[in-house]
Amino acid sequence: MRFVAGKDDLLNSIRIVERATVVKGLQPVLANVLVETVGENKIKLTATDFDLTITTILDATVEEEGKVTLPAKKLGEIISRLQDELVKVEIEGATATITCKKSKFDIIGISANEFPQVEENISEEDSIEIETKPFTKAIREVVSAAAGYETNNLLSGVVCEVNKNILEMAATDGNRLARVREVVKNNSADSEKVFEMLISSKVLSELSKIALLDEADNIKICKEVKKIVISIGKTKIITRLMQGQFPKYNQLVPQTFPREAKVNKYDLISALERVAVMVSEKNSIVKFEFGDNMLKLSGDTPEAGKSQDVIDINYTGEALTIAFNYKFVLEFLKIVECDEIAIQLNTALSATVFAPCSDEDYIYLVMPVQLRN
């Protein structure tokens, strides 16, 4: 096998697929990327950890057909350090010789025969094709609210629905909920059909990163009962759909809020980060005291000491003291794309909604922490 490819194209392709590799798996070949010639002057890269498979195609000058698997991490390190020139790859047995100008590397791989068979084609009967940018924006805004990744935990997933030209996405870990609605251009063959899926937050996080490398305008998603294929540009992501009933999350959002504060996002980020210096990592609790056009933040760790900060806000309601895991609030503040946020409040023990003042279709609900007297 011999081919020549541009350094940047090859490196981007490696970075896309290496997200599905397993560094310390039982099968060493799962740490490798399958490199193979497909069609005329095309190279296909594939990586899998069995739960997630990623493939991508790049243009190259193919001089001799073939296939091999090579260590993804080492291959990426080598290509990233080469000069910005054409890269020549020659395979002899399971060893690849990589040359670029006066640089030369020999890297030992594993036979392609040991790489798992991947089935990437499924029926397109249940599918959608929508714009990439609003889809990946919605991912960024909700994915942090999902529970930590566990195969059998439904709360580690994200629920997505496309109804005509409205995309709704939501995630919750039981302590917080993020929900976003975006208007999208629906290019599906049947744009009237409602498309729903429950998919791993880990997979969506990887997808949003891949989208930055591929830069395709549209994304196509095909699903069957247990499997889903996401196509973006020359890249495909194949994974399992999560099975089960996701909580009816819209019922968790209060319909009315007797109190509302408007806060400069950057002021609140700075004050939270200052107060958090004296907050215990074990509980991460910060107390919010809303008063007449002011917000006092305070932390207290008995064995370490106390912290306090005050910022100006727009608030004229009744005084209210409420406490949160500050990390949940900080994550929202660093994701949301606005300067001013609204904090919608009920009681000290009721769910509180944080939302951008400029976008009523994005809400981040946080359950408060009960304070001990």
pLDDT digit string (tens) for 93-149? 999 999 999 999 999 999 999 999 988 888 888 899 999 999 999 999 999 999 986
Say if residue 339 is exposed, middle or buried (CB neighbours under 10 Å; 0-12, 13-18, 19+): exposed
Structure tokens at 309: 């900060």
Q: Is 166 helix (H, G, I), strand (E, B) or coil?
A: strand
CATH superfamily label, 255-366: DNA Polymerase III, subunit A, domain 2 (3.10.150.10)
- Compute the average pLDDT of residues 344-372: 93
Same CATH topology for 2-114 and 127-250: the answer is yes
Percent of all residues in the chain with a pLDDT value above 70, rounded to a whole number: 99
295/288 Cα distance (integer angstroms)? 7
Q: Please give the Cα distance from 342 to 330 (Å, whole number).
A: 14
Contacts with 262 (C-beta within 8 Å, 6 or more apart), sequence order: 313, 314, 315, 340, 341, 342, 343, 357
**Helix 265-275 to helix 326-335 angle, to the nearest 10 degrees?**
150
Write out 80-91 in H/E/C secondary structure.
HCCCCCEEEEEE
pLDDT reading at 151 higher than 70: no
Whether the pTM exceeds 0.85: the reply is: yes
CB count in 10 Å sphere of residue 29: 21
Q: Which residues of 91-127 are buried (b: 16+ CB within 10 A; e: fewer)?
A: beeeebebbbeeeebebebbebeebeeeeeeeeeebb
Q: 127-250, superfamily in CATH?
A: DNA Polymerase III, subunit A, domain 2 (3.10.150.10)
203 has pLDDT over 80: yes
54 contact partners, CB below 8 Å, separation of at least 6: 16, 17, 19, 20, 46, 47, 48, 206, 210, 235, 236, 237, 238
> In the chain, what are the domain boundaries?
2-114, 127-250, 255-366
157 pLDDT band, cuts 50/70/90, is: very high
Third-level CATH fold of 2-114? DNA Polymerase III; Chain A, domain 2 (3.10.150)
Asked if 315 contacts 262 with a C-beta cutoff of 8 angstroms, the reply is yes
pLDDT at position 308, please?
96
- pLDDT band at 301, cuts 50/70/90? confident
DSSP 3-state assignment of 35? strand
> Cα separation of 95 and 72, whole Å?
14
How far apart, in Å, do the first and last CA atoms of the chain sit? 72
Pairing between strand 127-131 and 218-223?
antiparallel
